[in-house]
Amino acid sequence: MAAEEPTGRNTGQDYDERGAVPLLGYAAIAGTYTAACGALVVLARRRGVVLPERVPPWDVALLGVATYKTARLLTKDKITSFLRAPFSRRSQDTTAGEVADEPRGRGLRLAMGDLVTCPFCAASWTATGLLGTYVLAPRAARLIGAGFGAMAVADWMQYAWAWTQRNAEG
């Protein structure tokens, strides 16, 4: 039988054999995400924004690269550790100024830890923010996307340079 809180709601303890899964925390995060998406729609309608019939492939690529970079910055960058610290604990320093953090706590705190330590999870949030900006202010979104895109290209250039140096030195 499922472990239940006094309110009769399933706590997720029987969902995964490794321990309690913060299902209520995940539900709260999903509800917040849904509310944020709804707020973007309402704001766009109130401003009289007409949605584009199509999004050019270049804009999709730009927003995709910017989403990748913003999600990595949020979840892996040393400098953004202060955002993750209430919900995670540093497990190791990795390469290129990145770190690995482990979620901590229980309930909503653990669910938030899962979100802020997983670049794939955070990407949906950062993509939504960038897409909301694209709907409300396309030129600003392209500029922001170009900035984060340039950072991602610079990352790859750093890796290419390091690889070239290693191979040149033998």
DSSP string covering the chain: ---B-TTS-B-STTT-TTS---HHHHHHHHHHHHHHHHHHHHHHHHTTPPPPS---HHHHHHHHHHHHHHHHHHHHBSTTHHHHTTTEEEEEE-STTBEEEEE-SSHHHHHHHHHHT-HHHHHHHHHHHHHHHHHH-HHHHHHHHHHHHHHHHHHHHHHHHHHHHHHHH-
Tell whether 18 is covered by a domain: no
Tell whether 33 is covered by a domain: no
- The average pLDDT across 161-170 equals 88
Q: Are 109 and 129 in contact (CB under 8 A)?
A: no
- The average pLDDT across 11-29 equals 80
Q: Which domain holds residue 134?
A: 56-169
User: Residue 2's pLDDT band (boundaries 50, 70, 90)?
Assistant: very low
User: Residue 95's pLDDT band (boundaries 50, 70, 90)?
Assistant: confident
Least confident of 3-7, 41-45, 60-64, 77-81: 3-7
Tell whether 19 is covered by a domain: no
Whole-prediction pTM: 0.83
Q: At what angle do helices 57-76 and 138-169 cross, to 10 degrees?
A: 70
Chain-wide mean pLDDT for the chain?
90
Return the pLDDT at 93: 80
Measured between alpha carbons, how far is 149 from 61 in angstroms, rounded to an integer? 9
Return the pLDDT at 137: 94
Tell whether 25 is covered by a domain: no
Count of domains observed in the chain: 1
Distance, C-alpha 62 to centroid of its chain? 16
Does residue 6 register a pLDDT over 70?
no
Q: Look at residues 115, 114, 95 and name the one whose alpha carbon lies nearest to residue 162.
A: 95
Map tokens 């040149």 to a residue.
168
Tell whether 40 is covered by a domain: no
Tell whether 36 is covered by a domain: no
Does residue 30 register a pLDDT over 60?
yes
Return the pLDDT at 112: 97
